[in-house]
Amino acid sequence: MFKYLKMKLTMSPIYYRMINIIRTRAWVNSEVPKTSYISQTAQIIGLDQILIGNHTTISDDVWININHRLNKEASLIIGDNCIIGRRAFITVAKKVKIGDYTSMGVNCLLLGAHHDYKDPLQPYTIAKIDDQREIEIGTNCFL
């Protein structure tokens, strides 16, 4: 049993190293400028539909979800010199535009899509999704 425990402890750092390599490789094929930063703990679904400006930071534990991933045009446009704060959550329905010099604080939510809740007897997980909304945030805004 001791050998099993020792092997498990020695495999653990290798496992975490492999996860970090996989996360890092996810950014290699994207159009992220070299002057911008995306945290390794950020979860981005649909990275190829995102345009990120220069000197932009996407902080730790940010979650970005692009709903229409079959569409190959940019659904989320983040301008230059923006900061997306820790644990921000952005869900993109049709389009979200974030202007230059915009800062999103910690736990900020941009919800472009929501579940249709007209029928109270239908569970929201299988309800229709209203996904035709657009969000546009101007230049030099703080959320």
**102-113 residues labelled b (16+ CB within 10 A) or e (exposed):** bbbeeebebebb
Tokens of 6: 């020792």
Partners of 45 in the β-ladder:
65
Task: Using alpha carbons, list the distances in angstroms from residue 123 to 2, 115, 142.
Answer: 48, 10, 35
**Whole-angstrom distance between the N-terminal and C-terminal Cα of the chain?**
53
Q: 43-84, pLDDT tens digit by residue?
A: 998 888 899 999 999 999 999 998 877 777 888 999 999 999
Residue 23 has pLDDT above 70, yes or no: no
Quote the DSSP letter at residue 6: H
Q: What local confidence, expressed as pLDDT, does residue 131 receive?
A: 72
**pLDDT > 90 fraction of the chain, expressed in percent and rounded:** 47
Q: Which residue has the tokens 């703080």?
A: 142
- Give residue for tokens 């209203």: 130
Q: Please, how many CA atoms are within 13 Å of residue 70, restricted to the half-sphere of its CB?
A: 0
